[in-house]
Structure 1
């Protein structure tokens, strides 16, 4: 902290100095107001960027099967669709930690700008791709540039103090979730006009993101190493390097494992909701789409409006535990539901579980020094991408194996993923109680 130099106590204050002090008196308030205004603008731009990026991702989902069919892949359609999805997730797994580490070294703004500009060029490439190989190349580039979510998460950590992070990460998750809900709807409408129109729209949204960030997004102020670090080597940009370095922090490692379990569990509905709805309830595609849209909206509302309130009241640790419990109860409800009436409470419980993710992000950020926030967000994004590669294969196999006997096993397995994390959750609960006990004497002393 910089301490202002004060004049010696024995030195009399001169009239000019007194006048200057009086004249400069309101300056701190003005600076504070400007800082708050600047932070609000930066936060709004980051949320808008994440929402538009999610819309761009969702835009192309409805037309991907028809686009693959246009290349003559009638018999191998599912194989190529799965390969393109896995390729996107794999590139995010590899590149998210690298972008996070580069943003720690060179700044959030330049890395974010490069990612957004790369996304716009990539969507244009896919809009014009005459060969399947270019479509694969485009999905690989999209995975690289789409890993900018780790930089956005680090930006939120830079402009937020510890008491604000859970609430703002909730807003970040809500912005992304609402974008994913809106994207397929818009993409379906545009795809009915022209098969490649969603790619053009996605490129336009990426360019809009780029323009907003270029014109109005500042580089956040944050703590940096006193000695400038050299540019990261290729070894340091590998995903396992940051994971190994951060995993050595004793308070952070359990949260990383819990985050991986949370992301794996989230792959169950993402992979099997349509099949589950058709097999158990006889839903048509419209019913599946409406149920997914309802879940996405409710999930986003919980993250946007409930996370901050609950975290302020009970703390991030208890908020995280509450989210896990709500998620588990929701999955068990899905396992045993026999009608839409009994399924509805499960949707609410699973959506309520969305408060756990932002709380976990806030706790992870608190346990990582300011100079490595980008690396942390990159590792978290990489773990999410790893879950997106493993989860569909794992849960698809479990569903097929159990469908002949009972199709609820996959939900039970998804809920059971949290069992290995029980020791970490108990430790978090004890830590929350200890923090509350430590805070009580300070409150009494302040009152006295």
Structure 2
């Protein structure tokens, strides 16, 4: 157990375990990205605009489950430890993917997404795990490495999912379920606990476990609410591509699922390079605040380019520009985790998960409906990238806010 491990080697081993868990989880999620909108489109008879609207319903439902369950699982991990919550989430995902794989209609697809949203909060628990085993000065680099795990998963996952989707749209869901089961058994037999009993919260408080109660933590520490707002703007902007990428690139560039998967793979490669190899040196040179601002500026510029690009080739030119957004979350997480005590890390990540749930509800509605409206008025508007321009504006706002609130934190005592 991690509570019985000490020293740098123990921390490295624990981080290695959680990195592998996050990587496997991200791959399983990435597999379904190129195919779920097309499966929805199949059930709507091939109507792209109607599929975009159903995709909004699915995404909002998933976000609502994240909003409700994220704080609950975060606080639960502060009370009973990270390991059991991670295992519950990962085995739950395997069941969710199987339900989606055999769904005979849109209603059963929606049931699968509800369960998926309830159990997908393992990402926030993984972040709390990282904060447990990493000293404050190394957290930005560690969160960058975690980001690279997610980027790598979303790099190879969509490429494989797109290829499998060309064979059968349901095949990627079976593969995702299998990967989740492997991940669950890996955690069951290998993953150590990161939060020893003496550092856990003394009781499970339902008042703090509900979504609104969990957000009170963000008001209890200096600048934490402002930093959380930056995170919300980032998460909201980041929903634009999951919400419309498949339908947008199919409509504007005529891309097939395999081409979409390869493009996501190229985006993932650029993200891995930034998060795995550049975050550490850049944070050491310009600090967590500088990394946050660089990420916000790069993301705003990258989204603006994606919305402008009139051809698929020009769209790819924006990939290295957009990759700079990978600096934002490591800098932000580094600043936020310094402001709370060890027994509050799970609650902090639960509150962040709740904000992500809000973004997951609002973002697809904002971007999906904007995209549907823009293509329905294509003859007069001629702006299919309008939704992506909105995402660019949100990250520009995050840059302005970050320049005001991303100050050096006051150390928090346990």
Scaled by the length of structure 2, the TM-score of the pair is 0.84
CA distance in 1, matches of 2:404, 2:369: 33
Corresponding residue for 1:263? 235
Corresponding residue for 1:158? 132
| Residue deviations 1:201-258 (CA, integer Å, cap 9, x gap) | 22221221122112221111458568x623232x432111111232332221110111
Larger mean Cα displacement after TM superposition, 380-389 or 119-128:
119-128
Larger mean Cα displacement after TM superposition, 64-73 or 47-56:
64-73
1:308 and 2:285 matched? no
Corresponding residue for 1:425? 402
Spell out structure 1 runs of 4+ moving beyond 6 A: 69-76
Structure 2 counterpart of 1:115, from 78, 89, 108: 89
Alignment map for 1:22-37 (pairs within 5 Å):
35-37=7-9
1:325 and 2:286 matched? no
CA distance in 2, matches of 1:100, 1:350: 30
Larger mean Cα displacement after TM superposition, 391-400 or 161-170:
391-400
Change (3 A) 1:368 1:191: same
CA distance in 2, matches of 1:330, 1:74: 30
1:177 and 2:151 matched? yes
How far apart are residue 50 of structure 1 and its match? 1.2
3-state SS, counterpart of residue 315 of structure 1: helix
How far apart are residue 337 of structure 1 and its match? 4.5
How far apart are residue 155 of structure 1 and its match? 0.1
**Unmatched 5+ stretches in structure 1:** 1-31, 436-448
The question of whether the paired residues in 1 share the 8 Å contact of 2:31 and 2:161 is answered with: yes
How far apart are residue 120 of structure 1 and its match? 2.4
3-state SS, counterpart of residue 154 of structure 1: helix
CA distance in 2, matches of 1:74, 1:416: 32
Larger mean Cα displacement after TM superposition, 270-279 or 366-375:
270-279
CA distance in 1, matches of 2:142, 2:54: 37
How far apart are residue 38 of structure 1 and its match? 2.7
CA distance in 1, matches of 2:118, 2:8: 33
How far apart are residue 107 of structure 1 and its match? 0.5
3-state SS, counterpart of residue 204 of structure 2: coil
1:231 and 2:207 matched? no
The question of whether the paired residues in 2 share the 8 Å contact of 1:108 and 1:155 is answered with: yes
3-state SS, counterpart of residue 156 of structure 1: helix
The question of whether the paired residues in 2 share the 8 Å contact of 1:102 and 1:232 is answered with: no
How far apart are residue 74 of structure 1 and its match? 6.7
Change (3 A) 1:279 1:65: closer
The question of whether the paired residues in 2 share the 8 Å contact of 1:97 and 1:237 is answered with: yes
CA distance in 2, matches of 1:122, 1:133: 14
Corresponding residue for 1:203? 177
| Residue deviations 1:164-194 (CA, integer Å, cap 9, x gap) | 1111111111111221232233334445555
Corresponding residue for 2:74? 100
Corresponding residue for 2:344? 372
Scaled by the length of structure 1, the TM-score of the pair is 0.78
Corresponding residue for 2:393? 416
How far apart are residue 125 of structure 1 and its match? 3.7
The question of whether the paired residues in 2 share the 8 Å contact of 1:91 and 1:144 is answered with: yes
The question of whether the paired residues in 2 share the 8 Å contact of 1:247 and 1:256 is answered with: no
| Residue deviations 1:343-363 (CA, integer Å, cap 9, x gap) | 555322211121111111111
How far apart are residue 318 of structure 1 and its match? 1.0
3-state SS, counterpart of residue 368 of structure 1: coil
CA distance in 1, matches of 2:24, 2:228: 27
3-state SS, counterpart of residue 104 of structure 1: helix
Q: State the structure with more CA Rg.
A: 1
How far apart are residue 79 of structure 1 and its match? 4.7
The question of whether the paired residues in 2 share the 8 Å contact of 1:268 and 1:411 is answered with: yes
Corresponding residue for 1:393? 365
| Residue deviations 1:372-411 (CA, integer Å, cap 9, x gap) | 1011111212222321221222134444358534525444
Q: Tell me the C-alpha RMSD between the 2 structures.
A: 3.3
Alignment map for 1:2-41 (pairs within 5 Å):
35-41=7-13
The question of whether the paired residues in 2 share the 8 Å contact of 1:54 and 1:183 is answered with: yes
Structure 2 counterpart of 1:284, from 245, 255, 260: 255
